[in-house]
Each structure stands twice: as C-alpha cells, then as structure tokens.
Amino acid sequence: MSALPAATPARTGWLRDLRRIATFTGKRLIALILTVLVGVYLTILIANMGGQVDDLRMLQIRATVSEQVRADPAFFDMPSEERNELIERQVQLEVERRRLDEPFMVRSIDYLAQGMQLDLGRAEEMHSDSGSREVYQIIVERLPATLLLFGTANLLVFFVSVWAALWLSRRYGSPADRSVIALAPSSAAPGWFYGIFLILIFAFLVPVLPAGGMVDIPPPEDSWAYAASVMRHMVLPVAAMFISSIFISIYSWRTFFLIHSSEDYVEMARAKGLPSSLIERRYILRPTLSPIVTSFALMLIGLWSGAIILEQVFNWPGLGTLLFQAIGYRDTPVIIGSVVIFAYLLALTVFLLDILYAILDPRVRVGIEGDNR
Amino acid sequence: MVEKTLLSVENLQLHYQTRRGIARAVDGVSFDIRANEALVVLGESGCGKSSLAKALLRVLPRNVHRFSGRIMLGETDIMNLGQEAFRRDVQWTRIAMVMQAAMNALNPVVRVGEQVAEPLRVHLGWSRQRSLERVAKTFELVGVSTDFLQRYPFELSGGMRQRVVLAMALVTEPELVILDEPTSALDVLTQASIMNVLKRIKQEQGTSFMLITHDVATSSEIADRVALMYAGQVVEVADAGDFFHQPAHPYSQMLMASVPRLRQEDEPAHIPGQPPDLIDVPEGCRFADRCPSRFQRCDREPEPFRVSARRHVRCWLHAPDATGGGDS
C-alpha cells in the first residue's frame, strides 16, 4: 500500500491496451481484405452477367471482323470460302487474344486478381484529359478536382457545424438556437438548386465571380495566379453546398450534444464543480468521439463519388461528370473501375475507423478480445 | 452529539416550469444538519427528495422556474454565492454527492482512478501522483482494490461502481456528503456493506451525511435524524429514535405501519390513494385526501409546528392550540 501504484499499473494498463489494439487491427485487416475481395468479385460476376456477356462479345467480334474483312479492298477478289476461312481465323485470333475460349470462371479469377491490383483495363469509348485510355488514369486524373471541391465544402460544413452545435447546446432555447431550428428546412433543397441562384446573382446580375469551370481560360502561367483563379472558381459551388447543408447539420449535431449533455456522468461532472470547458472536452466530446469520427469518415467516403448534378451545373471537371459521361457512353470498364476504386477507399476508411474506435473507446478494445476481466 | 449546526435550510423552494404548468418539487422545506450527523430524508418516489439534493448542490436542470430560500453552510450563505464562487468553494470541496444513478455516474471512457482524482486536481490543484495516492487510500476505505485504479467503469461490477462513486464523494473529505438512493439498485449484502462503510466514515472522519432513500429499514441503520417528505414538503422532522418508535404525523404513522417486520402477526398496511400531483397540489394539507384523521382545519395549509425542541410536524393535529383531536 505504501509504495503506491500510480506508475506500475499505468504502464501495464497501456501495454494491455496496445496488445489489444494490435490483435484487433490484425483481425480487422484480414476481414476487410476478404470483404473487398468478395465485393470486387461480385461486381465482376454481375457486370459480366455470370459469363453471359461473353456470348454477346463473341457475336460482336464476329460481326466486327466480317465487317472489316468484307470492307477491305485487298480481299475483294478472294473466293468466298477462303474469305470465310480468313474470317474464322481472325475471329479465332481475337477470341484467343481476349481469352474468350477459356471458361469464364477461370477468367473471372484473373479479372479479380487484376482488379485487386488496380489493373482496371482500358476504356471502351472514353479517354482521359491527357489522352490515356487506361481506366485507372481516367479516374485518377479526375480525382483531385472532386476532392478539392467537395473536400473544402464538406470539411467546412463539418467543423463549422460541430463547433456551432456545441455552442448552441449550451444555449438551448436561445434566439440563436431557435433560428437554426427554423432554418433547418432550407436543407430540403440540394446544393445545385442554390447553385443556380448563386450563379444567376453573382455571375450575371452582379458579375463578380465566374459562372463555372475550374480555372480561367486560358489558365494563368504563374502558379499563384493559377491557385487564385481556382479559388475564385470554387467560391460559388462551395457556397452552394455550404448553404444547402449547414443548417440541418448544425441542427442534428446540436440535438446530439443536447442528448449527450444530459447523461448522468455529465450531470455528475457538473455537480463536481468542474469548469465547463473541461466538462465539454472530457465528458461530452470525449465519450461521443466515436460517432463524431464515424460521421466524419462517412463524409470523407462521400467525397470520393462527387456529385453529378452539382458538377454539371458548375461545369466542374470531377468524378461526378465523369461517371455521368461513362453511363452515357455505356462504358462498362470505367463504371466497374469506379466501383473497384470506391470499394478500396471504403475499405481503407472503415479500416482506419476501426483502429480509431479501438483507440478512442476502451469498450471496443475489450469487446474484441473477449471477456477477460 | 450536541454540536454546531453544519447546514441550515430555510423555506427552500425549487419549482420547475413544465409544459403542463409549474411543478413544485421542493416547496418550503426547512431543516438542519449538525456536524457529524446523519439525516435521512424519507419519502415516496416523486416527492421531491432528489430535487432537494440537487438544489443543495445547485445541479439544476434547464427548466427551473423558481429557486429561492436560505441555505447556510457553516457561516456561509451559499444561496447568495455567485455561480463561479459556488463551483470553486462549495461544490465537492464542502458538499459532495452520490447521485441516484450511480451506475451511469462514471464517464465510460476515462479510467476510474482518474475520475475519482479529478476533484482533487481541479479544486485543490494537486499533482497527478499525489491525487492518485489519495484516491488509492479512499479506495481502500470504501473497500475497492487499488488494482481497479486503472480500470474503466465497464470493467467493474455494479457494487464496485457504487463504491467508486462513493469514493469520489469522499475523496476531498467534504463536510457534508449527500447520498441519493445510494444502495437502491444493489443486492442486500452489498447494501449492508456500503452502509457499514458509511457508518465507519462517519465515526472516523466526522463527516455529516444526508441520505435520501425510500427504504425505511436500511435508513434506520445510520440515521440520527429523519425528515419525511410528502409532495414537496417535509411533513415531519425528528430524531431517529423518536421517529421510528413514535411517529407523530399521520403519514409517518402509516408509513411505519407499512414496513414489513420479521416477527409481526398482522399484514403490513398500505396507504390508500395516491400522492398529489406536484403540478396541481390541493389547497390545504397535502396529505388530507389520504389521511384517516382529517378534520376541518385541514382545508388550510398547516405550517411545520414545533412539537418539541428536536421535532417539527406539519399537521394541524400538532398545532400549539390543538385540542388533541384525532388519535395520535
């Protein structure tokens, strides 16, 4: 009792926690890889309709090849039997090149291996802005534009609303609180709706900001001027997204904090006479960090897909526009590629989330290792 | 046991604004607690016991409509202290509390040792090491192994959590500890051992207790004084022996008759009717509707009449000019 405890148990406590987190992380990693594997394989099966698309492909190859051979003047005077033989040979070559002679199940495993290595193949119709037909290139070139725009807007909305909600939860029923509640229905309209009005006002009635695009045409040479131009182009779309989601976001976080600030342990902390900043930090934010981080991560996942209509309205060269075009062209490799990349990013986010949970919430740590009190 | 008054409450009122109207949870309550004394506040659910406790420590909900009266803690008029001064100088340094929902009173993501040490570090400015050493001593006092310092609340059983919460209330060695139903969620053995801890602390450290409960049997173990609450008012306050053996208020008498006893022939009696709604309290005596000794004067509200030096009863039967009507 005399040589007391604080130091030693603290160290063993942390060791125990570290071991738990490591075990937990390993297990989660394996589970997630399996999940991505299954997800991508299912996408391959579905996109190929379980192999039935192969029959269509065969027909298509035959049609294309015969068309080519018949249209080629070099073969005009060839006897039709020879010509048919030639067509057969060409078809055979193409079939072997695409390995359509092998059973679909064998090939599907190969597709899976390629997909998992992010070898997404070539687009059928589309090409990237720099001219590449690699699906991976097409998608990756569009990613920064989307991330920049939606990242800025969503991070802004997230942090402003959490901060404002915490502030409002201390002022329950105040005029500010009531106005936020009253304004919450403004989020019923999507961002692009506000975008149209913003463009009308700030690009046409009072022409101070560009109506669309990502950078001036021609793009400025100087990199600072380039950045400034991009920022000017971002103002309106970011404002549109901000307006359309800020009030509902504040409102829901405010309710969340109000509920959690009536927990018994918060009341206990108040009774203990702790300063309110400490109560807010340690008794409201700390125990609710898991849901806050979850919603933050889900928001990040949402970023990857962009927003089709908003990007169209502001003529923004992002993933939303890309997907819209891919669907228009029925360019399946691009669509499947997006799905694969999305699955990877989702799994990565969930993985990071799991680790964060285990660090943030001691209950999660123990739950996985089993009951070992 | 005759010592100076530690806490003196006069005409305390705590009313809540609700959608249906004003709920008078604490309505004109007066009592004293002396140093090293245990006052048991008895009462049915919803009679305002917990509100009384929260009013003393000023842990008020948002919808307070009226909070008035006089609370003297030693020489300090704590009703007139500003919020910051009250937080710094009274909360947990002089009055501490074990809340009713002790199971949930611990922050789920902070180690219990840290939580119990918190008041020492915040109010007394102690170092982490020194606070944890004191916490370890307090843990031993209430019967918690010091191995638990590093545990999280969910790793503790209900009884252990209750003891940790108790340790949290004792760690700063406050003059008064308010215990709101500290044992009502626990099994009988744990209850008994916690009551023993309380008795020992009272003897060894001279702490005063205000124990809020509906459990007459448990409370009789530690009580020096008893205050019985009914519908937001204290209807009788008396020394424990007097109260348990010769209850004066008709409600006290019926309450004592309702307690089951081991070697008792007749069935425990119950009190017919319901306590009044705190939002819509009747004119006159609040117990009148359920009272067997009701008479004409009960249409007006009685004051707490002084029956003897140590006993006040809020009943017309005990008015100084009463002619002994009724059967007490």
pLDDT at B284 over 70: yes
Percent share of chain A, pLDDT over 70: 92
Query: Can you give the pTM of this predicted structure?
Result: 0.76
In angstroms, rounded to a whole number, what is the distance separating the alpha carbons of residues B271 and A359? Answer: 54
Indicate the SS3 state at residue B35.
coil
How confident is residue B244, by pLDDT bands cut at 50, 70 and 90? very high
Please, what is the average pLDDT of chain B?
88
In terms of pLDDT, which residue wins out, A148 or A80? Answer: A148
The pLDDT value given to residue B175:
93
In terms of pLDDT, which residue wins out, A72 or A304? Answer: A72
In terms of pLDDT, which residue wins out, A115 or B223? Answer: B223
Reply yes or no: is the peptide bond before residue A218 cis, omega within 30 of 0: yes
pLDDT at B66 over 50: yes
The pLDDT value given to residue A40:
83
Nearest CB neighbour to A272, from listed B109, B119, B155: B119
A325 in Cβ contact with A339 (< 8 Å): no
Q: Where are the alpha helices (DSSP H) in chain A?
A: 7-47, 52-71, 80-97, 104-116, 135-169, 175-183, 191-199, 223-260, 264-271, 276-278, 289-305, 308-313, 319-329, 332-360, 362-369
The 3-class SS string of B134-153 reads HHHHHHHHHCCCHHHHHCCH
- Give the range with max mean pLDDT: A55-59, A131-135, A267-271: A267-271
Q: Which residues pair with B70 in a beta bridge?
A: B10
Cβ-in-10-Å burial (0-12, 13-18, 19+) of A178 comes to exposed
The pLDDT value given to residue A142:
87
The pLDDT value given to residue B194:
87
Among the residue ranges B39-48, B110-119, B264-273, the one predicted with the least confidence is B264-273
Give the mean model confidence (pLDDT) for residues A114-139.
82
Give the mean model confidence (pLDDT) for residues B282-287.
88
In angstroms, rounded to a whole number, what is the distance separating the alpha carbons of residues B23 and A308? Answer: 55
pLDDT at A306 over 70: no
CB pair distance less than 8 Å for B107 and A287: yes
pLDDT at A3 over 60: no
* Residue B286 zone, left/alpha/beta (φ > 0; ψ -120 to 50; rest): alpha
CB pair distance less than 8 Å for B57 and A271: yes
Radius of gyration of chain A (CA): 28
Contacts of A360 in chain B (CB under 8 A): 109
Contacts of B118 in chain A (CB under 8 A): 272, 274
Nearest CB neighbour to A271, from listed B59, B113, B133: B59
Distance from CA of B228 to the nearest CA of A (A): 25
Q: pLDDT tens, B202-242?
A: 998 889 999 999 888 888 889 999 999 999 999 999 999 99
The pLDDT value given to residue A370:
43
Distance from CA of B50 to the nearest CA of A (A): 13
User: For the packed helices B158-170 and B112-123, what is the interaxial angle rounded to 10 degrees?
Assistant: 10
Task: Return the exposure string of B243-265: e unless at least 16 CB atoms fall within 10 Å of the residue's CB, then b.
Answer: bbeebbbbbbbbbbeeeeeeeee
In terms of pLDDT, which residue wins out, A361 or B133? Answer: B133
Percent share of chain B, pLDDT over 70: 96
B64 in Cβ contact with B15 (< 8 Å): yes
Cβ-in-10-Å burial (0-12, 13-18, 19+) of A216 comes to middle
B243 in Cβ contact with B318 (< 8 Å): no
In angstroms, rounded to a whole number, what is the distance separating the alpha carbons of residues A42 and A45? Answer: 5
Quote the ipTM score: 0.84
Among the residue ranges A12-16, A199-203, B65-69, B117-121, the one predicted with the least confidence is A12-16
In angstroms, rounded to a whole number, what is the distance separating the alpha carbons of residues B63 and B84? Answer: 20
Does A12 contact B at CB distance below 8 Å? yes
Does A5 contact B at CB distance below 8 Å? yes
Radius of gyration of chain B (CA): 20
Indicate the SS3 state at residue B155.
helix
Does A17 contact B at CB distance below 8 Å? no
Please, what is the average pLDDT of chain A?
84
Q: Which residues pair with B64 in a beta bridge?
A: B16
User: Which amino acid is it at B143?
Assistant: G
- Give the range with max mean pLDDT: A39-43, A357-361, A369-373, B87-91: B87-91
Nearest CB neighbour to B108, from listed A172, A271, A287: A287
Give the mean model confidence (pLDDT) for residues B9-28.
92
Among the residue ranges A310-319, B7-16, B65-74, B94-103, the one predicted with the least confidence is B94-103
Give the mean model confidence (pLDDT) for residues A347-352.
84
The pLDDT value given to residue A7:
43
How confident is residue A2, by pLDDT bands cut at 50, 70 and 90? very low
pLDDT at A368 over 50: no
CB atoms within 10 A of CB B121: 16
Interface test with A, best of B87, B109, B131, B137 (most A CBs within 10 A): B109
CB < 8 Å from B in window 287-346 of A: 287, 289
The pLDDT value given to residue A372:
41
Tokens of A228: 């400034």
The pLDDT value given to residue A367:
56
DSSP string, A15-78: HHHHHHHHHHHHHHHHHHHHHHHHHHHHHHHHHTGGGHHHHHHHHHHHHHHHHHHHH-GGGTTS
How are beta strands B176-180 and B95-98 bridged, if at all? parallel
The pLDDT value given to residue A373:
39
CB < 8 Å from B in window 254-283 of A: 263-265, 267-275, 278, 282-283
The pLDDT value given to residue A5:
43
The pLDDT value given to residue A365:
65
Q: pLDDT tens, A222-271?
A: 999 999 999 999 999 999 999 999 999 999 999 999 999 888 899 899 99
